Amino acid sequence: MLNKKKKKSVPAISTASLPDIVFMLLFFFMVATKMKEVTLKVEIKRPFASFATKLDDTNPIKTVYVGKPIASMQSTYGTESRIQINDVIASDVSGLVQAVEDWREEIGDANIPKLTVLLKIDKNTKMGVVNDIKKTLRDREQYKIAYSSSKGDDAEEAN
Amino acid sequence: MAKNKKREVQEINASSMADIAFLLLVFFLVTTTFDSDYAIERRLPAKIDTKDTVSKPIEPRNVFILLINKRDELFVNGERGDMKKLKEDVKEFIKNPADKPNLSEKSEKYVQSPLLKNGRYTKSKGVITLQGDRLTSYKKYIAVQGILTAAFEEMRNEIAQREFQTSYAELKEKASKGNNEDVKKKFAERVDAIDDVLPMAISEAETRKSAEKK
């Protein structure tokens, strides 16, 4: 029995369907990919919250980033927490005033009450900066905000 | 010409197709970030422009004071608080099922909405204030905010289950997604009715200046 099998040569496996499989995977990733809209110049690790909801993306969302500047930016911006708006690191919180004006102009008058400002803030930031941002937004009557966070418990904190 | 016709057209070798597809695949694999945007939504308190509007002082029993100091320690009404117990404490404070005198008062105003078939609902007068220090870490602040949101979400869910036999999250989902505007509006009204019975009464007070800050 063994001998018989050995004599027969194993037929080559057809690889004709390989492209199909690969294409299927490719399409999946193409659909699932969301391109980053800005280059981050600050490092952001999201904080954990036991409960968080998905943002309703039918309404306009604009993002403010806060964190320590990334290594290549530290020579110009230092290592203290900085605020990044759009593609630039703002010198201080007052840069937010202009940004809110720009966003409002961009989305149009009708959408202004729907605008949510998403705060993507590094978890090791001190609340002082966060509070300055909140105060500025409140002064500009931009009341809808959201704190970006990961769902679940912080693994590092558990120890 | 005639000669050409007789010749069979050579098949194109498709074996490199897989390579090309792989290349593209790898590109998308690398660039993909499954960045699901989870967030805690909040509404900042409206600006008060006139100073002459005298706001009524809130009764102490109606305020649930949360304070996180600069060492990230949680204090509930002045005493050291436990993160694990916080959610239940908040729910008890707002609902006050046993009508305890030290927990939140219930308003005599009943919420009556045609949508709510259980009729009258008492509204809690309770307000939760969350104070931080300028040196409090953001992660602690968000952890507490998450617990508060979870507490309110659970309470709203109870109402949603009782009134509409569905979860609050599902009502919200249906209110924002879908093609039929009328259906969306119907669910939005239900969400509003629940929010009216149980408003998210969290006041994010200004952070206090720490002595360490110069």
How far apart (Å, rounded) are the C-alpha atoms in residues A61 and A37? 12
pLDDT interval class at B15 (50, 70, 90): confident
Residues of chain B contacting residue A150, judged by C-beta atoms under 8 Å apart: 38
pTM of the model: 0.78
Q: What is the pLDDT of residue B185?
A: 85
Structural contact between residues A19 and B18, judged by C-beta atoms closer than 8 angstroms: yes
Could you tell me which of B92, B82, B100 has the C-alpha nearest to residue B155? B92
Distance CA B69, CA B132 (A): 6
First CA to last CA across chain A, in angstroms?
Answer: 61
Q: Are B41 and A144 inside 8 Å of each other by CB?
A: yes
What per-residue string of b and e applies to B140-158 under the rule 16 or more CB within 10 Å gives b? Answer: bbbbbbbbbbbbbbebbbe
Which chain A positions have a beta carbon within 8 Å of B36's beta carbon? 54
Closest CA to B62 of B102, B110, B108: B102
A104 falls in which pLDDT band (50, 70, 90)?
A: very high
Query: What average pLDDT does range B13-42 have in this prediction?
Result: 81
User: Residue A153 pLDDT > 90, yes or no?
Assistant: no
A114 touches chain B (CB under 8 A): no
Q: What is the DSSP letter of B210?
A: P
Burial class (CB in 10 A: 0-12, 13-18, 19+), B68: buried
Question: A67 - beta bridge partners?
Answer: A82
Residues B97-152 have pLDDT tens digits of 777 777 777 765 555 666 666 666 677 888 888 888 888 999 999 999 999 999 99
Confidence band, pLDDT 50/70/90 cuts, at residue A159: very low
Token reading at A12: 């080559």
List, for residues A118-138, the tens digit of each pLDDT value.
999 998 999 888 989 998 998
Pairing of strands A144-148, A116-121: parallel
Average pLDDT, chain A: 84
Mean pLDDT of B202-210: 69
Does B203 contact A at CB distance below 8 Å? no
Say what the pLDDT of residue B195 is.
Answer: 84
Contact A26 B213 (CB under 8 A): no
For residue A48, the chain B residues in CB contact (below 8 A) are 139, 142-143, 146
Q: What percent of chain A has pLDDT over 90?
A: 16
Give the burial class of B17: count Cβ atoms within 10 A of its Cβ; 0-12 exposed, 13-18 middle, 19 or more buried. Answer: middle
B 19-58 → A contacts, CB under 8 A: 21-22, 24-25, 28-29, 31-47
B208 contacts B131 by C-beta, under 8 angstroms: yes
Q: How far is A4 from chain B (nearest CA, A)?
A: 33
- Mean pLDDT (chain B, rounded): 79
- What would the DSSP string read from start to end of B31-98? H------EEEEEEPPPP---TT-PPPPPPGGGEEEEEE-TT--EEETTEE--HHHHHHHHHHHHH-TT
CB atoms within 10 A of CB A52: 27
B144-177 pLDDT tens trace: 999 999 999 998 898 888 888 888 888 888 887 7
Rounded to 10°, the helix A95-107/A127-139 angle is 50
Question: Which of A55, A127, A137 minimises the CB distance to B39?
Answer: A55
For residues B163 and B116, give the distance between their C-alpha atoms in angstroms, rounded to a whole number: 6
Q: Which of B160, B153, B22 is nearest to B91 (CA)?
A: B153
* Residue B56 Cα, gap to closest chain A Cα (Å): 22
Q: Is A147 exposed, middle or buried (0-12, 13-18, 19+ CB in 10 A)?
A: buried
A20 CB within 8 Å of a chain B CB = no
Mean pLDDT computed over A89-107 = 88
For every residue of B166-207, DSSP letters joined together read: S-HHHHHHHHHS-S-HHHHHHHHHHHHHHHHHS---EEEPPP
Q: Which of A91-95, A142-146, B79-83, B120-124 has the lowest mean pLDDT?
A: B120-124
3-state SS track over B94-153: HHCCCCCCCCCCEEEEEECCCCCCCCCEEEECCEEEEEEECCCEHHHHHHHHHHHHHHHH
Mean pLDDT of A92-110: 89
Q: What is the pLDDT of residues B71-86, one digit of tens each?
A: 889 998 888 888 888 8
Which pLDDT value is given to residue B211? 47
For residue B111, the distance in angstroms to the closest alpha carbon of chain A comes to: 25
Q: List pLDDT tens digits, range A29-70.
A: 888 777 767 788 888 888 988 888 888 778 888 999 999 998
**Residues 43-82, chain A: which have Cβ within 8 Å of B?**
47-58
Closest CB to B138: pick one of A33, A123, A143.
Answer: A123
Q: What are phi and psi of B46, to 5 degrees?
A: -65, 150
Contact B38 A56 (CB under 8 A): no
